[in-house]
Chain A
Amino acid sequence: MTDTTNPLSVQDLTVAWHRKPVIWDVQFDVAPGQLVGIIGPNGAGKSTLLKAIMDLVPKTSGRIEVFGAPWKKNRHRVGYVPQRESVDWDFPVSVLDVVTMGLYGRIGWFRPVRKKHREAAQRALERVGIGALAHRQISQLSGGQQQRTFLARALVQEADLYLMDEPFAAVDAATEQAIVEILREMRTAGKTALVIHHDLHTVADYFDSVVLLNMRVVAQGPTGIVFTKENLERTYGGRLTLLEEATEAMRRRERSL
């Protein structure tokens, strides 16, 4: 693909909840064909950032451009992998049903799921190595298999930009390897992925560039340059930043009124 516009451009993004900012003035661009890690401590607003990009939470201010246009216009080019815990794994559906959901957007309102859609879903399941589990109920899956199911669902979306919320959280080593391989295949195919990641040991190995996030962007750029001990200390620093202190004061003020 010769598309050279940035898959994602986040400008001045602020999201607040009850006046309490969750992320503040976030600004970064993502170049095509990159695997980008979003790194930051718990409560740094990483999931909120992904959700704000997709309009799932209201923005207080800021602008998002996906392939040079507003999210709504290009949402068919974006695939989303939510956190594994965000869904009910006792839901009465099969593994194949869950993967097929990735195609619903393309199938459109009212139209039924057809055989070719199920076949595409089956192929995606085989690609992530759990083709044999297609007809199991999802409650029978292990954590790693659940994550692979979500990954297969992202694959059938055939998106150009993927937003993944902690795909590596609590998976076995084999699944982690499978996910990494698929991410690299995606990159080779010119796709871009924005991945929330927790394991600092593997960041340099997995990602071309990183966004270090703690309410605001602490640093961002190529992993080799930005992913330094100093920047990590600033991201994960134990002390409250002045920003957080101000936020806390604002919130207390509001409560005491």
Chain B
Amino acid sequence: MNILSQWDWSYDGMIVLAGVLCAIAASLPGNFLVLRRISLLGDAVSHAVLPGLAAAFLITHSRSGVAVLVGAVAAGLLTAVLTEWIRDTGKVDEGASMGVVFTTLFALGLVMIVQAADSVDLDPGCVLYGVLEATPLDTVAFGTFEIPRVVIVLGSVVVMNAVFVSLFFKELLISSFDPGLATSEGFSARVLHYLLMILVAITAVASFEAAGNILVVAMFIVPPATAVLLTTRLSHMIVLSAGLAAASAVLGHLSALTIPALFGFRSTSTAGMMTLCSGLIFLVAALFSPQTGMIVTWIRRQRLAMRILSEDMIALLFRLEERLPKQSVQIDTLAQGLLTSRLRTRISVARQKFRGYLLVSADGVCLTETGRIAAAAVVRSHRLWESYLVTEGIDAELIHRQAEKLEHFTDRSLRDRLQKQGSKSEIDPHGSPIPEETDRQTTQE
């Protein structure tokens, strides 16, 4: 950690600031790329601006200024137009046509840059990886402050993107959610698509030099993709994505300084580490998101599986009792009958003993009176479904499997409707009696 003691605000501070600005600038329009399911168009445009950039260099022999911007925007729009054109005429999907367009344009850009390298100082490697570490070297005087040029450029892009997103919030929302409706209400989805592409192109070209391609491409997609896992409102998603982007940038620089040092290496690529951090944050969100996270989903699935197992178990006991009343069954027999492990059976038995459904004795387990009522409802659901499915003309061989699934999601009101619409018989298609409804709940809700 002693490496952090060398932290210098005018040096490290400026690198972090440039990274944060780049990350926020990209994440703002990125939200709409992700929501429109054209995330890779951000990637494509960021690569494809290269020939526009190179053409501007070749013509003006300058690395900055309006020419570069114009070249980039032109190349970005060209990518979007060509992608659409190839998709519509070439009978390939959007992904393939994007792949064709941006690799071709990027290669063209590389060829042009190598040609131009004699007259302009430009390094293809720098375009790819960026040199965020060089941020503090090129500054512009602002009164008594020395502000890096990159910070000014990226800061302007952040302001531009923020203004665009808030000014066109409603228009971007409707054209992303329902392009047909948007166009029919006079907000041309196509116009908004191209405006977004212009924004993406400008952001990409502004970030090129400082942060390189990798960081900007990641920040278009990863923070918004993370934010969408964590929120249910677009406005929250946009703010959160900007926050996550900034956090990845800060964490990235800190990690770039400290982590390699722990293993005795020199500090590593800051832009690369920032990108890596945003990926890790995504991973954490995907695992732990409270609504859609893998862990929550896994727990939910386990709980549902346990509920289904428990219902299957009391239903099995109920069916056994139909043949021989008041019998107790050993846990091993239950596990075999339910096609599950002994451990899961034991857990389920414990659960239902706790709920008062089962009695456990040395002879095994048997249903209590409450358990019998609950079991009757499940068995009734099962047999009503079988009767109903037969009247719907479904093959008698298949109805049991269907009913086995449906019985667990059938409440009293659905059972009453099944009875009305089914065969009205008191015997199911396999010849077993359908248990009576035990009138403990009322039919009306």
Contacts and interface: CB of A to CB of B under 8 A. Distances in A.
A105 B186 contact: yes
B232 A75 contact: no
A92 interface: yes
Q: Which of A75, A87, A94, A101 has the most CB of B within 10 A?
A: A101
B80 interface: no
B237 interface: yes
Interface stretch (B169-177, B328-336, B393-401): B169-177
Interface string B106-146: 00000000000000000000000000000000000000000
Contacts of A171: none
Contacts of B170: 104, 107, 111-113
A91 B237 CA distance: 11
B181 interface: yes
B233 A80 contact: no
A109 B185 contact: no
A137 B174 contact: no
B2 interface: no
Interface in B135-191: 167-171, 173-174, 176-178, 180-187
A160 to B, nearest CB: 14
B228 interface: yes
Contacts of B234: 91-93, 97
A91 B177 contact: yes
Q: Which of A56, A76, A104, A105 has the most CB of B within 10 A?
A: A104
Given A109-B171, A112-B170, A137-B232, A75 B186 contact: yes
Q: Which of B37, B186, B231 has the most CB of A within 10 A?
A: B186
A51 interface: yes
A15 interface: no
A12 B259 CA distance: 71
A104 B187 contact: yes
A88 interface: yes
A104 B183 contact: no
Contacts of A55: 183
A104 B177 contact: no
A51 B185 contact: no
A58 to B, nearest CB: 11
Contacts of B168: 110
B35 interface: yes
Interface in A93-121: 93-94, 97-98, 101-102, 104-105, 107, 109-113
A78 interface: yes
A82 interface: yes
A109 B169 CA distance: 10
A201 B173 CA distance: 38
A2 B177 CA distance: 36
B181 A80 contact: yes
A94 B232 contact: yes
A137 B236 CA distance: 13
Given A54-B183, A75-B186, A101 B171 contact: no
A175 B362 CA distance: 54
Nearest to B234: A92
A144 to B, nearest CB: 15
Contacts of A113: 170
B243 to A, nearest CB: 16
B173 A87 contact: no
Contact of B184 (A54, A97, A98): A54
Contacts of A153: 181
A154 B392 CA distance: 36
Contacts of B167: 110
A206 B167 CA distance: 43
Contacts of A104: 170-171, 174, 182, 185, 187
A87 B36 CA distance: 10
Nearest to B183: A56
A202 interface: no
A188 B169 CA distance: 37
Contacts of A112: 169-170
Nearest to A79: B184
Interface in B15-56: 35, 37
A42 interface: no
Contacts of A80: 180-181, 184
A256 interface: no
A4 interface: no
A123 to B, nearest CB: 20
A16 B162 CA distance: 41
Given A54-B184, A75-B185, A105-B185, A82 B178 contact: yes
A92 B241 CA distance: 13
Nearest to A110: B167
B17 to A, nearest CB: 30
Given A78-B184, A105-B186, A92 B171 contact: no
A56 B183 CA distance: 7
Nearest to B186: A105
Interface in B183-209: 183-187
Interface string A55-86: 11000000000000000000110101010001
A101 B178 contact: yes
Given A92-B232, A94-B232, A104-B187, A82 B171 contact: no
A109 B231 CA distance: 26
19 contacts: A55-B183, A56-B184, A75-B184, A75-B185, A76-B186, A78-B184, A88-B35, A91-B176, A91-B234, A92-B228, A92-B236, A92-B237, A101-B174, A104-B170, A104-B185, A105-B187, A110-B167, A110-B168, A153-B181
Interface of B: 35, 37, 167-171, 173-174, 176-178, 180-187, 228, 231-234, 236-237
Which 7 pairs of residues, A with B, have the shortest CB-CB distance?
A105-B185, A137-B232, A80-B184, A54-B184, A101-B174, A92-B234, A87-B178
Given A82-B181, A91-B177, A92-B35, 11 more contacts: A56-B180, A82-B178, A82-B180, A92-B233, A93-B233, A101-B178, A104-B185, A105-B186, A109-B187, A112-B169, A112-B170
